[in-house]
Amino acid sequence: MMFEQKTEIIFNKNVALKTFLLGIRSQEIAAHAIPGQFVMLRIGKGPDPLLRRPFSISGTRDQDLVLILYKVVGKGTALLQEKRAGEGLSVLGPLGRGFGLPDDEQVPLLVAGGIGVAPLFFLAQTIHTTNTQIMMGFGSSNEIIPVDVMGDFKIQYSISTDDGTHGHGGLVTELLATSLEKHTWHPSSLSLFSCGPKPMLKRVAEMALEHHIPCQVSIEAVMACGMGACQGCVVRSGSHETQTYQYVCKDGPVFFSHQIDWNQP
Ligand SMILES: Cc1cc2nc3c(=O)[nH]c(=O)nc-3n(C[C@H](O)[C@H](O)[C@H](O)COP(=O)(O)OP(=O)(O)OC[C@H]3O[C@@H](n4cnc5c(N)ncnc54)[C@H](O)[C@@H]3O)c2cc1C
Ligand code: FES
Question: In CATH terms, is domain 107-218 a member of 2.30.40.10?
Answer: no
**pLDDT at site 256:** 95
Assess whether pLDDT exceeds 80 at residue 146: yes
Question: In CATH terms, is domain 3-95 a member of 2.40.30.10?
Answer: yes
**Percentage of the chain surpassing pLDDT 90?**
71
Domain ranges of the chain: 3-95, 107-218, 221-265
**Do the Cβ atoms of 227 and 95 come closer than 8 Å?**
yes
Pocket test for ligand 2, best of 51, 227, 255 (most atoms within 8 A of CB): 227
Pocket test for ligand 1, best of 12, 53, 57 (most atoms within 8 A of CB): 53
**Do the Cβ atoms of 19 and 145 come closer than 8 Å?**
yes
**pLDDT at site 74:** 93
Nearest-ligand number for the alpha carbon of 53: 1
- Cα(211) to centroid of ligand 2, in Å? 33
- Residue nearest ligand 1's atom 10 by CA: 70
Beta strands 133-138 and 107-113 are: parallel
The predicted-structure confidence for 71-116, as pLDDT tens digits, reads as follows 999 999 999 999 999 999 999 999 999 999 998 888 899 999 999 9
| Sheet strand arrangement including 59-61 | 53-56, 38-42, 88-95, 3-16, 19-25, 65-71, 59-61
Give the integer Cα–Cα distance in Å for 216 and 68.
Answer: 21
Give the integer Cα–Cα distance in Å for 57 and 181.
Answer: 32
Helix axes 198-211, 172-182, angle to 10 degrees: 10
Average pLDDT over residues 231-245: 79
**Do the Cβ atoms of 224 and 232 come closer than 8 Å?**
yes
Helix (H, G, I), strand (E, B) or coil at 144: coil
Give the integer Cα–Cα distance in Å for 258 and 262.
Answer: 9
